[in-house]
Amino acid sequence: MSEFDLHCFSESGNSYKAALMLELCGADWQPLGVKFFKGATRSAEYRELNVMGEAPVLIHHREGSDLILSQSGAILIYLSRHFGKFGHRTEAEELEILRWILFDNHKLTSYTATERFMRHFRGKKGDPAAEFIYGRARDAWKVLNTHLSGREWVAADRATIADLSLCGYLFWPEQVDADWNEFPAVAAWLERIRALPGWAAPEDLMPSGM
């Protein structure tokens, strides 16, 4: 049995955040595929595991009691504490990391994942609601690009879980309809993340949810 199980699927950037962290930390982990596109997260069994009906869900098999945790931000914080990697060194860094994880969950990932789902997976390009959400995603990419201009990493002088959270959907430029040439600081930052030892693409870490 692996030390960590991750309920996840390869099309899920939120799952990817946790999977990438596990991989970069050299964890003993295995993906447990969620057939999201067949409605698996809506089943009673899955809601028993996670009342929110979302992937990812991390299970840490520990002596005595297993930990079951959802929400990629909470999972990243837990894993960074557990492995002593990609975390903060000062209180200011801790708050800066949290600030960017909250921005990611509220603005960057939420709009990017939703416009990708509607426009790429559901073919709703041109639909006013989808275009509105796409505009909001682009606004969040602009914020990230401005922040990263003149700096290498989001929240510290090295990669942290803030970077791993924000990049969750950004290695699919065609699917999210982004031309990173328009956002050069984001493009350079994605290349820095790609160069981290152990980096792997979502499809290399997790099975498809189709």
Ligand X SMILES: N[C@@H](CCC(=O)N[C@@H](CS)C(=O)NCC(=O)O)C(=O)O
Q: What does the binding site for ligand X look like in residue numbers (CB under 6 A)?
A: 12, 14, 41, 53-56, 71-73, 105, 113
Q: What minimum distance in Å lies between the beta carbon of 147 and ligand X?
A: 20
Give the integer Cα–Cα distance in Å for 131 and 173. Answer: 16
Q: Kindly tell me which of 2 and 110 has the beta carbon lying closer to ligand X.
A: 110
Asked if 141 contacts 178 with a C-beta cutoff of 8 angstroms, the reply is: yes
Give the integer Cα–Cα distance in Å for 136 and 141. Answer: 9
Q: What minimum distance in Å lies between the beta carbon of 117 and ligand X?
A: 8
In sequence order, what E strands does the chain have?
4-8, 29-33, 57-60, 67-70
Q: Kindly tell me which of 31 and 73 has the beta carbon lying closer to ligand X.
A: 73
Token digits for 160? 């942290």
Q: Kindly tell me which of 75 and 155 has the beta carbon lying closer to ligand X.
A: 75
Asked if 8 contacts 18 with a C-beta cutoff of 8 angstroms, the reply is: yes
Token digits for 186? 């984001």
Q: Kindly tell me which of 89 and 99 has the beta carbon lying closer to ligand X.
A: 99
Asked if 160 contacts 84 with a C-beta cutoff of 8 angstroms, the reply is: no
Q: What minimum distance in Å lies between the beta carbon of 184 and ligand X?
A: 27
Q: What minimum distance in Å lies between the beta carbon of 199 and ligand X?
A: 20
Q: Kindly tell me which of 42 and 151 has the beta carbon lying closer to ligand X.
A: 42
- Which secondary structure element, helix H or strand E, spans residue 82, and what is its range? helix 72-83
3-state secondary structure of 31: strand
